[in-house]
Amino acid sequence: MPENAPIVSVENLKVDFPVRAGLFGRRGVKHAVRDVNLEIRPGEVLAVVGGSGSGKTTLARVIAGLTRHQGGRVLFNGHGIEPGAPDYADYRRNCQMVFQDPFSSLDPRMKVGALVAEGLRALPDVPASHYARRVEEALTNVALDPSFARRFPHELSGGQRQRVAIARALIRRPSFVIADEAVSALDVTVRAQVLRLLADLQSKFGFACLFITHDLAVVEQIADRVIVMHEGRIVEEGTRDAILDTPRHAYTRRLLNAIPILETTPAGGVELRWRNEPAAADAT
């Protein structure tokens, strides 16, 4: 394997969903993902940005093996990841997902310790006697006191739950993490904290990350490269700075214009303005 070969590649991916227009409407097809190509290198954070319905979650679910695709393929370390493929088990171990609200689908009667330990059950080389220590280590990594293992999900704040979700994903020591709107449901201050935590953990452990968000503002802090999706297609891609500073596609500019930024004024104050809107100083 050549150095810096992609850990995950997606080639010409197509995903269609059958749809029906109205109650007695004709059957149709929704092209949720069309001709998507991308590569993620080891340790790299690739952000996928796009408005609601642009196909981001569908793309993530196909890469994670949770949704079927109608065309193209997904490769892990250069090998296809279809169920039954020799590398499939390795892929499942190394690919983990963090969702927007993972607790909505989890058993509320399970304690945090058991929820976090769940990820270890499928790993034959980790004996059950090591679970408690691994859970403690995983909680410490996400800056939660190990005593959180004895709490129930409903006893946690939104930010704490998302930390637990991150601990659950990282306890398997994955080399690739998919975060789908992982901080989007949190309020502003907590969002910034959890985003910082995720960025710190990524640089500490060096996993590659597909970071999905509808919010271009969070991309600045975590992404190396950015892909912009619109109606199932990639409409623009580039380094984080190129996308944020010199967006070429009108759709990217629209997404960027939705982000307010804080700027220091020549007088030493701070003002809030929208990107691509001239600053007061040069609007004379």
Q: Which is nearer to ligand ADP, 54 or 77 (CB)?
A: 54
Burial of 74 (0-12, 13-18, 19+ CB in 10 A): buried
Pick one of Mg ion, ligand ADP, none as the site partner of residue 54 (Cβ within 5 to 8 A by kind): ligand ADP
Three-state DSSP class for 190? helix
Distances from the Cα of 188 to the Cα of 51, 159, 165, 183, angstroms = 19, 11, 19, 9
Q: Which is nearer to Mg ion, 77 or 213 (CB)?
A: 213
CB of 55 to ligand ADP, least distance (A): 4
The backbone region for 75, taken as left when phi is positive above 0, alpha when psi lies in -120 to 50, beta otherwise, is beta
Which span (50-58, 132-140, 143-151, 192-200) binds Mg ion, by CB under 5 A?
A: 50-58
Q: Which is nearer to ligand ADP, 57 or 162 (CB)?
A: 57
**Interface residue list for ligand ADP (CB under 6 A):** 17, 19, 30, 32, 50, 52-58
CB of 63 to Mg ion, least distance (A): 13
Three-state DSSP class for 46? strand
Structure-block tokens of residue 182: 């992982």
Q: How far is it, in rounded angstroms, from Cα 191 to Cα 160?
A: 11
Q: Which is nearer to Mg ion, 31 or 93 (CB)?
A: 31
* Residue 57 touching Mg ion (CB under 5 A): yes
Structure-block tokens of residue 241: 């700075």
Within 108-167, the residues that bind Mg ion by CB under 5 A are none
Q: Which is nearer to ligand ADP, 58 or 175 (CB)?
A: 58
* Residue 213 touching Mg ion (CB under 5 A): no
Instruction: Look at the chain and count its residues.
Output: 284
Residue of 100, 101, 99, 103 lying closest to 152 (CA atoms): 103
Pick one of ligand ADP, Mg ion, none as the site partner of residue 17 (Cβ within 5 to 8 A by kind): ligand ADP
Residues that bind Mg ion (CB under 5 A): 56-57
